[in-house]
Copies of this chain bind each other. A is one copy, B any other.
Amino acid sequence: MTKDDHQDAVAREPDPRTADNRAEAFHGVRVARRNELAEDYVELIAELIHTQGEARPVDIATKMGVTAPTVAKTLGRLARDGLITRAKYRSVFLTDEGRALAKECRHRHEIVLRFLLSLGLDSETAERDAEGIEHHVSERTLALFAAFANRS
């Protein structure tokens, strides 16, 4: 269908499903990107509840570095998606599902961070990179990161 198909007749070693894999990889990244924000939010909300006793929109806004209306709209989506519950003018609570996701995210975040630190990265850069990388590591990669961090 695409040019590759007949090009492969000439190809030496590349396997015939390379194009598919590319599209799949990009698709996987797009999916991951769709969940990034939700992951960061529930992770932060869990942390705020733990450290401050409650998760207030104003604190979420400060830590996320966005404005209050942006937080409000995002919380609306999280509620719609069953990750949090909220009442008007009150602070935010995680549902069971939200709590489970938060736990998983914190776990991932910590492994990625520990891994970067164990590679020798300074903590500020490690924190910044971990915040982005954490959403793009598969289970398999995470396991390798954890193993490496542990035996360092």
Contacts and interface: CB of A to CB of B under 8 A. Distances in A.
Secondary structure call for the A interface: helix
A150 interface: no
B28 A132 contact: yes
Interface residues of A, number: 51
13 contacts: A1-B62, A4-B59, A22-B63, A23-B62, A26-B65, A28-B131, A29-B36, A119-B148, A125-B141, A129-B136, A129-B137, A132-B135, A136-B136
Contacts of A65: 22-24, 26-27
- Among A7, A25, A52, the most chain B Cβ lie within 10 Å of the Cβ of A25
A5 B138 CA distance: 37
Interface in A87-102: none
A142 B19 CA distance: 26
Contact of A63 (B23, B36, B127): B23
B59 A40 contact: no
A120 B32 CA distance: 23
Given A19-B62, A28-B128, A33-B132, 6 more contacts: A3-B59, A23-B62, A25-B131, A29-B36, A126-B141, A129-B137
